[in-house]
Amino acid sequence: MTNITSALLSLQDLRFAGMGPVQLELHAGEVVQIAGASGAGKSLLLRAIADLDRNTGRVALEGRPREDFPPSRWRRQVGYLPAEPAWWADTVGAHLERVDPAWLQALGFPATVTDWGVDRLSSGERQRLALVRLLALGPRVLLLDEPTANLDPENTRRVETLVRDYLASHHAAALWVSHDAAQRQRLGGTPRYMESGRFVPAPADAASPAAQASLNAG
């Protein structure tokens, strides 16, 4: 099939949960930051792209329609990291069989973390390790739903650096939901604001304390 776009990921008239349509092109190396108030549809958008919830419209990876991919392969190529990742085995190592040890070190973990029990992990440790678990699949596109929400500043910067390094080394791209204005400034990339499941111009007062409080509640 001939590619119809140079974009790594493209969305055309994507509709989901009574929301949309959404149009988007995401290019290799790019971070698109998504902000918006609680209930704006940010998480639902990521789930729709991952094809975890019912949706309509066209979604393509390097011009190839999503329908051409077996579901399991699509979710390896377009990797979704939810705000609360699931853990199904007793030990960390059971989830990280093919992980790059350098990624664990980059996120502040000792090599022995693979021996840890999942039940001893804090919410922030689970969040960071779930990112490593996702990267081990080698996705071309990362769908990141507030991946640093439970982290302190030091670990937040570690995650930001690792994701940036991964995008550069794997010619990948990311959709990153964040309510942190300072983080969005650090990440650079393309800012988008979501309202009722659509991308709209950011409100003029988006940087005000009241607006930030609304975003942080989302």
Confidence of residue 208 (pLDDT cuts 50, 70, 90): very low
Determine phi and psi for 168, rounding to 5 degrees.
-70, -45
Domain assignment present for residue 3? The answer is no
Examine residue 101 and say whether the peptide bond preceding it is cis (omega within 30 degrees of 0). Answer: no
Distance CA 79, CA 74 (A): 8
Residue 71 in contact with residue 50, Cβ under 8 Å? no
Query: Into how many domains does the chain fold?
Result: 1
Sequence-distant (6+) residues with CB within 8 A of 126 are 85, 87, 118
Using DSSP, state whether 147 is helix, strand or coil.
coil
Domain assignment present for residue 2? The answer is no
Confidence of residue 209 (pLDDT cuts 50, 70, 90): very low
Domain assignment present for residue 78? The answer is yes
Residue 209 in contact with residue 38, Cβ under 8 Å? no
Confidence of residue 204 (pLDDT cuts 50, 70, 90): low
Domain assignment present for residue 4? The answer is no
pLDDT, average across residues 19-36: 96
pLDDT (0 to 100) of residue 203: 81
Average pLDDT, the chain: 90
Give percent above pLDDT 70 in the chain.
Answer: 91
Residue 27 in contact with residue 172, Cβ under 8 Å? no
pLDDT, average across residues 146-159: 96
pLDDT (0 to 100) of residue 188: 86
Confidence of residue 214 (pLDDT cuts 50, 70, 90): very low
CATH code, domain with 140: 3.40.50.300
Distance CA 160, CA 151 (A): 11
pLDDT, average across residues 157-178: 97
Distance CA 164, CA 181 (A): 18
Domain assignment present for residue 1? The answer is no
Using DSSP, state whether 36 is helix, strand or coil.
coil
Domain assignment present for residue 172? The answer is yes
Domain assignment present for residue 199? The answer is yes
First to last CA, the chain: 40
Instruction: Find the domain containing 146 and state its range.
Output: 9-217
Domain assignment present for residue 110? The answer is yes
pLDDT (0 to 100) of residue 206: 53
Distance CA 116, CA 200 (A): 44
User: Mind listing the pLDDT tens digit for each residue in 139-151?
Assistant: 999 999 999 998 9
User: Mind listing the pLDDT tens digit for each residue in 78-99?
Assistant: 999 999 999 999 999 999 878 8
